[in-house]
């Protein structure tokens, strides 16, 4: 049944399908019975949890994409080939960073199916952060994941021809790239039916965001970078909802947006999600938690940079570098410039995420779940103003501490976007 033509699975067919895969069958002992439970992300794919009846500790997750947008039904076609890229990225991450991703038991691109480790006792980082839960070392884990995956798949970690071979595995992930181009970099900044704007927030958007030419052109420059810069294989959708965590572990999931893009993209997105959580806690009044979130978000940058540079120190030859081309001083200069560039780009991508999560189709539950629209609007505008501020400061910020100062001053009311009065 392996690598057959596509067939959409249901719980019955699923059992037969898993039975045909020796490794999965051995693990679950399917003949002795399994429990199949649809758990689903619900929006795009079918997701099942399959548990061995004779050993409840043995379970797998089975994810299958269908050739339409599941939440909208068959009338909304969406290529099931997205699963191809989820499989490819997750398998690569299994090699590069096995400690940070679910183990892949089996994958089948033709069937658009992946069978992977069930992450017992892990929960979604976003919901934990909404409740004010602390996760020791979360910044270290995220920073490590990013440094490892970005470096190892980049022109600094790979030889030129290997790298182009890997690029060819992801270049056709076109549909999901297009979603990002539209929903992160375009629609939120213009009048578009897909946006979801709180009516109270709308006035600010009209007067201060969509009229700000410099801001919009900065967004456009980042869209151009997203379209054209192939630094490394990026996760493409790294937010607090795509991290499964416990106090001890962190697992990155949902790799279907993976493609070769700019270094700063994942970094910017995940930090934006931390900052949005920070903003949401103005509503709970949990200042202590805000402090923790801000420190963690800045520590992601620091951890990333430290580990990225450590890896670089160990790598003498790559697509970019040939032993003997540079002396140590020259290389150090190049490294320093590169880290500043990645940092500044990620601040820009962070600004894009802050905005689109506040007014675009996909909000964050941290803020969108707040029922009172006036309370919510205040937080949304706080996020939008921070987006503008960061975008305008981006190219003058060279260090994490400088960024932290800007953000702290902003939340303290001591710093605000250009052309806007203190509010």
In this structure, the strands spanning 34-38 and 45-52 are antiparallel
Length of the chain counted residue by residue: 423
Alpha carbon 384 to its chain centroid, in Å, reads 20
220 binds a second copy (CB under 8 A): yes
Q: Answer positive or negative: Cα dihedral of 286, 287, 290, 296.
A: negative
CB of 318 to a second copy, least distance (A): 10
Where in 17-76 is the site for a second copy (CB under 8 A)? none
Neighbour-count burial for 5-41, b at 16+ CB within 10 Å, e otherwise: ebeebeeeebbebbeebeebeebbebeeebebeeeee
**Of 37 and 174, which CB lies nearer to a second copy in the complex structure?**
174
Binding mask 122-161 for a second copy (x = CB under 8 A): ---------------------------------x----xx
Q: Which of residues 229-258 bind a second copy (CB under 8 A)?
A: 229-231
Near a second copy in 326-345, by CB under 8 A: 326-327, 329-330, 333-334
Min separation Cβ 227 and a second copy, Å: 5
Task: Single out the segment in contact with a second copy by CB under 8 A; choices: 58-66, 165-173, 290-298, 403-411.
Answer: 165-173
Is 178 a binding residue for a second copy by CB under 8 A? The answer is yes
Distance from first CA to last CA of the chain, Å, rounded? 63
Among residue numbers 288 through 327, which ones bind a second copy (CB under 8 A)? 319-320, 322, 324-327
Binding residue for a second copy, selected from 47, 167, 200, 362, defined by CB under 8 A: 167
Torsion of CA 189, 193, 195, 198, to 10 degrees: 110
Question: Per CB under 8 A, does 175 bind a second copy?
Answer: yes
Geometric angle at alpha carbon 190, from 189 and 196, rounded to 5°:
80
Stretch binding a second copy (CB under 8 A), from 41-49, 109-117, 226-234, 371-379? 226-234
CA atoms within 13 A on the CB side of 270: 28
Q: How far apart are CA 307 and CA 313, in angstroms?
A: 10
Q: Which CB atom, from 189 or from 204, has the smaller least distance to a second copy?
A: 189
Is 91 near a second copy (CB under 8 A)? Answer: no
Q: How many CB atoms lie within 10 A of CB 195?
A: 17
Tell me whether residue 91 or residue 229 sits nearer to a second copy (CB atom): 229
Q: Which stretch binds a second copy (CB under 8 A): 9-17, 48-56, 114-122, 189-197?
A: 189-197
Q: DSSP letter string over 282-334?
A: HHHT-HHHHHHHHHHHHHHHHHHHHHHHHHHHH----SS--TTSS-HHHHHHH
Cβ at position 111, least distance to a second copy in Å: 23
Please identify which residue in 94, 117, 123, 186 interacts with a second copy, judged by CB under 8 A. 186
Cα 297 to Cα 138: distance, rounded to the nearest angstrom = 9
Comparison of 58 and 210: residue with beta carbon closer to a second copy = 210
Distance of CA 12 to the CA centre of its chain: 33
Comparing CB distances to a second copy, the nearer of 102 and 360 is 360
Report the run of H or E that residue 196 belongs to, with start and end: none
Residues lying near a second copy in the complex (CB under 8 A) are found at 155, 160-161, 164-165, 167-168, 171-175, 177-178, 181-182, 186-187, 189-191, 213, 216-217, 220, 223-224, 227-231, 319-320, 322, 324-327, 329-330, 333-334
């Amino acid at each position: 049944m392996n690598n057959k033509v596509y067939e959409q699975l249901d719980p019955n067919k699923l059992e037969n399908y898993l039975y045909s895969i020796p490794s999965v069958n051995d693990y679950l002992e399917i003949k002795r019975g399994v429990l199949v439970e649809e758990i689903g992300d619900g929006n795009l794919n079918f997701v099942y949890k399959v548990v061995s009846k004779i050993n409840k500790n043995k379970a797998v997750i089975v994810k299958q994409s269908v050739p339409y947008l599941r939440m909208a039904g068959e009338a909304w076609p969406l290529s099931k080939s997205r699963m191809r890229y989820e499989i490819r990225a997750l398998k690569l991450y299994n090699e590069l960073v096995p400690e940070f991703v679910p183990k892949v038991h089996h994958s089948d691109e033709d069937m658009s199916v992946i069978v992977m480790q069930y992450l017992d006792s892990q929960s979604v980082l976003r919901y934990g952060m909404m409740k004010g839960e602390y996760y020791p070392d979360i910044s270290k884990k995220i920073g490590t994941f990013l440094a490892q995956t970005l470096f190892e798949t980049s022109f600094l970690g790979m030889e030129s021809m290997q790298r182009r071979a890997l690029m060819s595995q992801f270049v056709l992930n076109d549909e999901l790239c297009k979603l990002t181009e539209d929903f992160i970099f375009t629609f939120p900044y213009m009048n578009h039916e897909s946006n979801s704007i709180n009516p109270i927030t709308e006035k600010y958007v009209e007067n201060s965001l969509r009229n700000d030419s410099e801001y919009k052109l900065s967004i456009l420059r980042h869209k151009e970078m997203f379209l054209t810069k192939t630094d490394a294989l990026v996760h493409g959708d790294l937010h607090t909802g795509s991290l499964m965590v416990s106090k001890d572990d962190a697992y990155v999931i949902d790799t279907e947006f993976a493609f070769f893009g700019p270094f700063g993209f994942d970094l910017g997105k995940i930090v934006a999600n931390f900052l949005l959580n920070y903003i949401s806690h103005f509503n709970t009044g949990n200042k202590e938690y805000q402090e923790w979130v801000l420190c963690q978000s800045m520590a992601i940058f620091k951890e990333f940079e430290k580990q990225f540079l450590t890896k670089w120190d160990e790598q003498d030859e790559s697509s970019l570098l040939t032993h003997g081309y540079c002396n140590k001083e020259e290389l150090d200069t190049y490294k320093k410039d590169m880290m500043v560039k990645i940092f500044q780009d990620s601040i820009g991508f962070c600004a894009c995420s802050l905005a689109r999560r506040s007014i675009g189709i996909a909000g964050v539950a941290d803020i969108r779940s707040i029922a009172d629209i006036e309370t919510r609007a205040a937080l949304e505008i706080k996020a939008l103003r921070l987006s503008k501020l960061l975008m305008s400061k981006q190219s003058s910020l060279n260090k994490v501490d400088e960024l932290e100062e800007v953000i702290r001053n902003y939340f303290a009311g001591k710093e605000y976007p250009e052309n806007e009065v203190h509010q």
